[in-house]
Amino acid sequence: MVTSKNVVFGALLGLSLLSGQSLAETYTAPTWPLGNPPSGWRPAPFAAGSWFDPTRSGAGWAIEKLSPLPGETAPLYSGTVYTYDSAGKPYWLLMAGTLQYTGWDEYFRTSVSAKFGGVLNDGVNGACPTCAYVAPNVGPSPYGTGEIRFLGAAQADVYVNNGTAQVERIQASENILLNPVADLLEGQWKYQIYRASGSIEIQSDVRSIYEIAKPAWASAITADANVMHTPAPNGRWFTGSALGVDYPIVYDAEAGTLIGYCFEVATGCGTETIGSTGGLGVPGRVGFHMRSSAYVHVYALSDKDTLIDTAFVNNKATVQNNQVSANAAARYRRVIPIEQQ
């Protein structure tokens, strides 16, 4: 297992606190079962009501979080898609279901934090806005059961035909039109940790997350056969505070993921290849080999000002029945809300 300075990486990107680091605040809170952090501290759908696929502009989803049904603890979600039928006429579909949080292993492998689904009902032959009311015909549609699977970077995959056919990748409308995910990442944050034993700790220092240039050696990254995650070739690189290029958060817009990596040799995250980098001829890193024993951090934006951080061992051969720290949940909270920046 990677240790030593990788603990520093964890402290910034959500694994553990630096020993002896001062805290601005520590207070008691309800205890929670190991591996099952409460709402607001576990990966969850991005809080937004309007979603659409930018490649299919003109149609979209209204997604609403509702109170849990009797006997349930997870919230009820409803989704209504406003679209068109095969003749090009306006058409809508509605489904609802209790939100299902994915298991830790599924989240580690897919970045799907939660999902909901139900029978896709459609409505036809209703009244126009200025016409006398006529009740529409509402009932099961030809598309069977639908399902929406939420990803960490404020995106979601939509499936129909009982989950067998993915039809689109939707994004929160405000992130397409106003606040792109890359812009949401940048800013000043405070790291918080909620321990299952019943305490919340908020670090006193403010951490800045900002975008950096992807290094040239990133095009020559290799990995152990069992490594699960590697940086996307077209991903955008961010880092926190002064950790620099060895500890990036990589935003993959195509996959809808936010993944934090360690590329430091001294901590055992991997090995580097040294060679000529041009310029003054001083040898430098030209490649890096990732080890499957290193930690990887899977992030989820749960709203504009909250970034949930979950650490795993980056090994796909290991069933990750829990996060690295089963007795603690970590998140970043923006110091200044995005609307005030």
Using CA atoms, how far apart are residues 245 and 284, in angstroms rounded to an integer? 14
Write out pLDDT tens, residues 287-310.
999 999 999 999 999 999 999 999
Confidence of residue 340 (pLDDT cuts 50, 70, 90): low
* Six-digit token string for 44: 């969850």
pLDDT of 23 over the 60 cut: no
* Amino acid making up residue 133: Y
Instruction: Report residue 149 CA to chain centroid gap.
Output: 11
pLDDT of 319 over the 60 cut: yes
Write out pLDDT tens, residues 37-89.
999 999 999 999 999 999 998 999 999 999 999 999 999 999 999 998 888 88
pLDDT of 275 over the 80 cut: yes
Using CA atoms, how far apart are residues 188 and 313, in angstroms rounded to an integer? 27
Write out pLDDT tens, residues 110-164.
999 999 999 999 987 888 889 999 998 889 999 999 999 999 999 999 999 888 8
pLDDT of residue 90: 84
Using CA atoms, how far apart are residues 113 and 184, in angstroms rounded to an integer? 19
How much is the CA Rg of the chain, to the nearest whole Å?
Answer: 22
Pairwise pLDDT comparison (190 vs 3), residue with the higher score: 190
Pairwise pLDDT comparison (341 vs 237), residue with the higher score: 237
pLDDT of 314 over the 50 cut: yes
Averaged confidence pLDDT in the chain: 90
pLDDT of 236 over the 50 cut: yes
Write out pLDDT tens, residues 164-199.
899 999 999 999 998 999 999 999 999 999 999 999
pLDDT of residue 127: 85
Using CA atoms, how far apart are residues 236 and 211, in angstroms rounded to an integer? 7
What are the sequence ranges of the domains in the chain?
A: 6-41+180-340, 50-177
Name 8's Cβ contacts closer than 8 Å, sequence gap at least 6: 18, 243
pLDDT of 12 over the 50 cut: no
